[in-house]
Amino acid sequence: MTRPLVAVDARSPERVLLALRAALAGGPAVAPRTDDVVPADLPTTVPLPVALVIETSGSSGRPKRVALGTDALLAGAAAADGALGGPGQWLLALPAHYVAGTNVLVRSIAAGTEPELLAPGHFDAAAFARAAARLTHPVRYTSLVPAQLVTALDAAEHDEGVAAALRGFTAVLVGGQATPASVVDRARASGVPLVRTYGSSETGGGCVYDGRPVGQARVGVVGGQVELSGPSLAEGYLDDEARTAAAFVERDGRRWYRTGDAGTVSDEGLLTVTGRLDDVVVSGGEKVSLGAVERVVRELPGWAGAVVVRSTHERWGEVPVVVRAGEGPEGGTLAELRAAVVAEAGRAAAPDRVVVVERLPLLPSGKPDRLALERLVAP
């Protein structure tokens, strides 16, 4: 059995909220989009369990249409409520075509509360604070990406309204990409009730909070790769059986999603993600994790938004290259950058150079487009 699939303009979060409310009640499934022309290959119907289709791009840049079922969406909402402070009111500060953005709306619907919706576009800390002040429920949540959190923390240093807004939430979720430890420490020292989340569209968004799975989610590491299981997993990729079979596997009577991330799980069950399995370069005969280099770089003052990609090198084969938007921080020389990386990750990991761009290219998911950056830094 099937149901209709409708494209909804995510530039209007109100429309996405209304469409999701209908979808969760058994109406047409929702495909949030930000373009004016609906692709000809977007199906008009989906299997009956599917309520939401999130289009995202992986490291290859090929678009993926992640099909999420009604039960998965509601299971994710229940898990979040259980791990945080119970059902509450949400402030949407993320685009409504991101899985984290749709989660804010789904959790609002499940809680029976009306979310505050920020207009899409450039994140403005003052507007964020004003929206937070309009929340009326005693339990209050929001979800941010690291760049938004840094912007809000910067504003909070001279704007008590922003500072009070951040402190006033029951929880501020941050995810979408790794958050530097220095940013986490800064937020918590400022009284922000920060929760780091880990997950993807395929897992219905974040299902690991501060390194621990929430609800019925489970974490495993197989061959060094992080795998996630639980009731919030997607049905698969729409009309792509081969990709679905490669990403979702059955093991031990459970269905698992293979994340493509490298990581470890401690004896206490704490997950640590160490980078992408495909981010290793061989420089001068030594293996170097670009993720490890990026983590060191992002911990340095002023470099929180930097991205590290690979580039070919006549002598070393491949080398890490640091890319950042805008001007480099005062006193942040390449020599100092190299010294910090070498101290943590070894001599082969030293960045070859820094490339400054006006603006980092982004994927539709909002993450850096690493393939575009690799082309940009190619010699």
pLDDT tens for 213-230 read 999 999 999 998 999 999
Q: pLDDT tens for residues 52-90? A: 999 986 544 567 999 999 999 999 999 999 999 999 999
**Cα separations in angstroms, 105 against 71, 73, 95, 142:** 15, 10, 11, 11
Q: Could you report the per-residue pLDDT of 297-331, keeping only the tens digit for each?
A: 998 888 888 999 999 887 888 899 999 987 655 44
| Mean pLDDT, residues 329-344 taken together | 81
Rg of the chain on CA atoms, in Å: 21
CA distance 228 to 110: 24
Residues contacting residue 241 through CB under 8 Å, at least 6 positions apart = none
- Whether residue 348 has pLDDT greater than 50: yes
Closest CA relative to residue 353, chosen from 298, 315, 295, 310 = 310
Quickly state the pLDDT bin for 180 (edges 50, 70, 90).
Answer: confident
pLDDT of residue 328: 52
Quick one: which of 302, 304, 310 has its CA closest to 348? 310
Check whether 207 has a pLDDT greater than 80: yes
pLDDT at 59: 47
Compute the distance between CA of residue 85 and CA of residue 93 in angstroms, rounded to an integer: 20
Residue 6, pLDDT score? 97
Q: Which residue has the higher pLDDT, 106 or 366?
A: 106
User: In a 3-state reduction of DSSP, which class is residue 2?
Assistant: strand
| pLDDT of 289 above 90 | no
Residues in the chain: 379
Tokens of 194: 């920060």
Q: With H, G, I as helix, E, B as strand and everything else as coil, classify residue 236.
A: strand
Quick one: pLDDT band at residue 3, thresholds 50, 70, 90?
very high
Give CA separation, 223 vs 13, 28, 226, 230, 261, in Å: 40, 40, 9, 20, 11
Q: Is the dihedral of CA 168, 171, 176, 180 positive or negative?
A: positive
Buried b (16+ CB within 10 A) or exposed e, 254-286: eebbbbbbbbeeeeeeebebbbbbebbbebeee
CB 20: neighbour CB atoms within 10 A? Answer: 24
- Can you read off the two tokens belonging to residue 284? 């001068």
Q: Assign 368 to helix, strand or coil.
A: strand
335-361: average pLDDT = 91
pLDDT at site 58 = 53
pLDDT tens-digit series, residues 20-47: 999 999 999 999 999 888 888 999 999 9
**3-state percent helix, strand, coil for the chain, nearest multiple of 5:** 30, 35, 35
Average confidence (pLDDT) over 280-305: 87
Strands 307-313 and 286-289: unpaired
pLDDT for 364 beyond 70: no
Instruction: State residue 302's pLDDT score.
Output: 84
Residue 290 has pLDDT above 70, yes or no: yes
Candidate from 3-17, 115-129, 247-261, 365-379 with smallest mean pLDDT: 365-379
CA dihedral 56, 194, 111, 94 (to 10 degrees): -30
pLDDT for res 316: 85
